[in-house]
Structure 1
Amino acid sequence: MEPKLFIDGAWVDAAQGGTLDVINPATERPFAAIAAGSATDIDRAVAAAKRAGKGPWGRTTGRERAALLRAIAAGIEAEKDRLARLEVEDNGKPLAEAEGDIADTIYCFNLYATYAEELDARQGEPIAVPDARFSTRVKYVPAGVAGLIVPWNYPLLMAAWKVAPAIAAGCTLVLKPSEYTPLSALELARICHEAGVPPGVVNVVTGLGRDAGAPLAAHPDVSKLAFTGSVPTGIAVATAAAQDVKSLSLELGGKSPIVVFADADLDQVVEWVMFGIFWNQGQVCSATSRLIAERSIAPRLVERLAEEARKIVIGDGMTEGVQLGPLVSRAQYDKVLGYMEVGKREATLVTGGGRPAGFNAGYFVEPTIFTDVPADARIWKEEIFGPILSVAAFDSENHALDLANTTEFGLAAAVMTKDIERAERVADRFEAGVVWINCSQPNFLEPPWGGMKKSGVGRELGTWGLMNFLEPKQITAYQSSEPWGWYLKNTQNG
């Protein structure tokens, strides 16, 4: 793959000519290079998107866009094995997880094709008003040029979460992938082009966040910003968006709790807790990284979890049977190891806590569990984005909810109990945008996804994701043959 940007339907060099290495996190060796985009390249890409939006693309129907979305899905399907392997090289996750991501990506484009078709039927839908002399209807128009900034933990899937609804809505877009995992976004650009997406509708600019992401967020011709990533960067994006009053959606961090009552099925609890924190190396914004267990079962549960954590197979994601790959980058590796050292001072280390034995290269860390974690501990309060589980015990339902909700985040939360009334009661009191009962992390593309507090603004997925890229336009018509009479009444009165 040549180090090029995709702008206006063509592969072009970065204006400043620079490149960045792409590192395989399992080997710490570069295996590809990408173009280092800059503000000049963002200007070119946004200009291309703006032109495309004013051309024939701006007059397409939902049905026409649906055909393109299905063609994109078919293009991904045809290359799913290669794309999954590319994600492993780029990101480090086990191949089976990457294959699941690609399957979800295909589903996402097909789902938004259906939503695009349904949008045609909703155009001009009537709205009842209390005055029969007027008729009111609503049309849905594209938000304009969309700036999409996506993270490295689910590279192609997170891109699909934004690209698919943007196309379905009729927007044009500039996609900025993470510099750590940019390759599948470039492949997506190629697949979109081959599927027949017109030039300028989809543009991809790779590069560092400060050089390409920040100019995209601040660009005056970008009407809609959709960002997934860290809270500090999200605040910077929101600040930039505020300067031009852009439409904005943010999916930020999390420190999600999983509350386990003593009556829960222990085998199921172990399964879901393990999945909730160790899937994708714990690099999941909604990871249930805080286990809040009823005191009577906490020691036994922690013992079981530690036993299972020690069985996890660590290694290169391309190796069959591997369950935990490397972290995505040196920076993330150093950050997670740093939190492990902090945890050793703040709480009781049960298992893990460092680099696994026998690994001389790669950003590998052990699945780690801390117990007796105080509520003011950094590992309890701060998002780590790694395979670290923090455990605390509770004595009552109110105590559990206090532990769960005392956080600046509010993305997700889970509760496990056989008492369904209690489960529903706790679910209602969680301060979170996504709640799971007797499970953790199942994610479907039809319901809304997003959080409260510092976990974000707005919702993605489902029809909520589509509405992110649409502007509802009210059209009201006076349909009476009688004169309105406002001017005459006012002049007669004096």
Structure 2
Amino acid sequence: MAPPPEPRSNQRIKFDQLFINNEFVNSVSGETYTSVNPSTEKLLAVLQQANEVDVDKAVKVARDAFEVGSPWRSLTDSARGLLLNKLADLIEENVNEIANLESLDNGKPFIQSYGQTLEAIKFVRYFAGCTDKIHGKTISSDGGVLVYTTKEPVGVVGIIIPWNYPIVLLSFKLSMALAAGCTVVVKPAEQTTLNALFLGHLIKEAGFPPGVVNILSCSGPAVGIALTHHKDVDKISFTGSTMVGKLVLEAAAKSNLKKVTLELGGKSPAVVFNDADLDLALKYISQSVFVTAGQTCFAPTRLYVQSGIYDKFVQKFIEIASKIKVGGPFEADVFQGPQIDSVFLERVLSYIEIGKKEGAKCVLGGKRHGSVGYFIEPTVFTEVTDDMTITKDEIFGPVEIIFKFDTLDEVIRRANNNKYGLAAGVFTENLNTAVQFSKAIQAGTVWVNQWANLSPQTPFSGHKMSGMGTELGIDSLDGLMNTKVTNIRLSSDE
């Protein structure tokens, strides 16, 4: 990969209105809210505050765009793929600007934002290639009857995304829905809206018909509540906390039994056996737990190390974590940026204090980093027990907790003793150990001698309280489509 261009910390904000029916417009109420740079705590943008009236407008134009005979529904499958590929081209042409916006909005280091924008392009191109590969089946039937199935887009999809990986999550959720032939209303996180609005500009430039994609900025839950309760929204794709996911599911059931995909919280276990490649395990785990300031749903935040290497591993892990540079996104060699806002800063710090009070040993960090920006020191706990709050709850910050274990059966039991089941990982040179662990662990994804290997073609889902439904991979499009069965009588027995 060619080196990224120079970042621009003073980039001008071009789009700060709602995007409805291919136009940037003010909210009906005229109300606004402010977005703050998490690295500097300074004003970043003044954005339009959408409410349920704006949701009604956006859903109506999305419904109109979905009707049979509309310009969008009249496109061939291949033509939809061409539009998505055009969007991917435009993201690539604007990769530096998008990465800058991501770093300003989210606070993550520019090099990470740049890499994730390149990943977003891959997701869009993958689903562009899926548009003409959606097939039904012919079913054998007795009595001279031809039976076949077709896949049809479900309708209007509400997409609700969080603030930790804005461009990546938006790129694949949006391209999945469009590949299936749906129309969408997007509610980005209030803290990270700028890239979504910029993408609206690119969607119009790519040539998508009006109403196909609509983007609503909002501080607070009003838009999310209106979308999940709306009777003309046919599907909700939500990524966020388990608590809010339950509310989404409840609203979907009460409104119109809309389809729901939920990717929720995690407390993922990483297990390192005595025979593991320690340098490999240290690299993957340290990077994955502190990247994006620990604000990653599948971060390996429960680290189990076998007793034979425990002391050596913990010492090396602390050494690596102590050298992680914390700072603003445009500083040189920074790996860990800020928490997203003051609320999450205080939340993480409160969990750290709970850990100390319950008897866990804080061997590194544990405090706010600096006085400006929402930064927290990389933090490591040892002497943690399975019943502690920091063991059970998702902290969503740069906090690693390390346990000692003796046997495979023991670590499987302890790793499974959690309400979440998003991801897990095992580091070992023994294939039998890896396979046994992978079969027994309760998680949607298991990584062996690696972590966070995600690709457009690989399905991703959560077990237990980590969600329902599957995203990524061509089969995930089934969640955005209805199956229709057609029976044709070919002959008569009369």
Aligned to 1:6: 19
| Residue in structure 2 matching 1:118, options 133, 145, 148 | 133
After superposition, give the CA deviation of every residue in 1:451-471 in whole Å (9 maximum; x if it has no partner).
000100100011133222111
| Residue in structure 2 matching 1:262, options 274, 286, 299 | 274
Aligned to 2:181: 170
Structure 1 counterpart SS, 2:84: helix
**Mapped pair 1:247 → 2:259:** yes
**Mapped pair 1:32 → 2:45:** yes
Aligned to 1:472: 483
Report the identity percentage.
38
**Mapped pair 1:404 → 2:415:** yes
The structural deviation recorded for 1:102 is 0.3
CA distance in 2, matches of 1:156, 1:416: 30
CA distance in 1, matches of 2:156, 2:88: 22
**Residue type of the partner of 1:457?**
M
Structure 2 counterpart SS, 1:58: coil
Aligned to 1:21: 34
The structural deviation recorded for 1:56 is 2.6
Aligned to 2:329: 317
Aligned 1:325-340 pairs, distance under 5 A: 325-340=337-352
**Residue type of the partner of 1:378?**
T
CA distance in 2, matches of 1:361, 1:208: 23
| Residue in structure 2 matching 1:299, options 300, 303, 311 | 311
Aligned to 1:492: none
| Residue in structure 2 matching 1:86, options 79, 86, 101 | 101
**Residue type of the partner of 1:76?**
I
Structure 2 counterpart SS, 1:370: strand
Aligned 1:221-236 pairs, distance under 5 A: 221-236=232-247
Change in 2 beyond 3 A, CA 1:340/1:68: same
Check conservation: 1:49, 1:203, Cα contact below 8 A: yes
After superposition, give the CA deviation of every residue in 1:259-290 in whole Å (9 maximum; x if it has no partner).
11111011111111102211111111011100
Check conservation: 2:152, 2:483, Cα contact below 8 A: yes
Aligned to 1:283: 295
Aligned to 2:159: 148
| Residue in structure 2 matching 1:387, options 389, 393, 398 | 398
Which of these two proteins has the greater Rg computed from alpha carbons? Answer: 1
After superposition, give the CA deviation of every residue in 1:201-241 in whole Å (9 maximum; x if it has no partner).
00001102421111111111000111000011111111100
Check conservation: 1:85, 1:318, Cα contact below 8 A: no
Check conservation: 2:20, 2:215, Cα contact below 8 A: yes
After superposition, give the CA deviation of every residue in 1:80-133 in whole Å (9 maximum; x if it has no partner).
0011011000001111110111011111111001001222xx2xx433324262
CA distance in 2, matches of 1:197, 1:380: 47
Aligned to 1:158: 169
**Residue type of the partner of 1:33?**
V
Name the stretch that deviates more: 409-418 or 203-212: 203-212
Check conservation: 1:53, 1:145, Cα contact below 8 A: yes
Structure 2 counterpart SS, 1:22: strand
Check conservation: 2:166, 2:192, Cα contact below 8 A: yes
The structural deviation recorded for 1:472 is 1.5
Aligned to 2:5: none
Check conservation: 2:107, 2:328, Cα contact below 8 A: yes
Aligned to 1:489: none
Aligned to 1:136: 147
Aligned to 2:366: 353
Check conservation: 1:93, 1:317, Cα contact below 8 A: yes
**Residue type of the partner of 2:372?**
A
Name the stretch that deviates more: 346-355 or 250-259: 346-355
CA distance in 1, matches of 2:80, 2:181: 7
After superposition, give the CA deviation of every residue in 1:16-71 in whole Å (9 maximum; x if it has no partner).
11111111111001111111100000000000100111123123221010010001
Aligned to 2:209: 198
CA distance in 1, matches of 2:193, 2:269: 31
After superposition, give the CA deviation of every residue in 1:407-435 in whole Å (9 maximum; x if it has no partner).
00000000111001110110011100000
Instruction: With the length of structure 2 as denominator, give the TM-score of the two structures.
Output: 0.95
CA distance in 2, matches of 1:131, 1:396: 56
Aligned 1:32-51 pairs, distance under 5 A: 32-51=45-64
Change in 2 beyond 3 A, CA 1:309/1:422: same
Structure 1 counterpart SS, 2:40: coil
**Residue type of the partner of 2:483?**
P
Instruction: With the length of structure 1 as denominator, give the TM-score of the two structures.
Output: 0.95
Aligned to 2:114: 99
The structural deviation recorded for 1:245 is 0.5
The structural deviation recorded for 1:2 is 4.8
**Residue type of the partner of 2:319?**
E
CA distance in 1, matches of 2:411, 2:278: 18
Check conservation: 2:153, 2:480, Cα contact below 8 A: yes
Check conservation: 1:22, 1:34, Cα contact below 8 A: yes
Aligned 1:415-494 pairs, distance under 5 A: 415-483=426-494
For structure 2, the 5+ residue unaligned runs are: 1-13
Check conservation: 2:71, 2:209, Cα contact below 8 A: no
For structure 1, the 5+ residue unaligned runs are: 484-494
Structure 2 counterpart SS, 1:321: coil
**Residue type of the partner of 2:409?**
N
Check conservation: 1:60, 1:170, Cα contact below 8 A: no
CA distance in 1, matches of 2:477, 2:115: 23
Check conservation: 1:58, 1:170, Cα contact below 8 A: yes
Check conservation: 1:275, 1:440, Cα contact below 8 A: no
CA distance in 1, matches of 2:420, 2:19: 36
The structural deviation recorded for 1:398 is 0.9
Higher helix share: 1
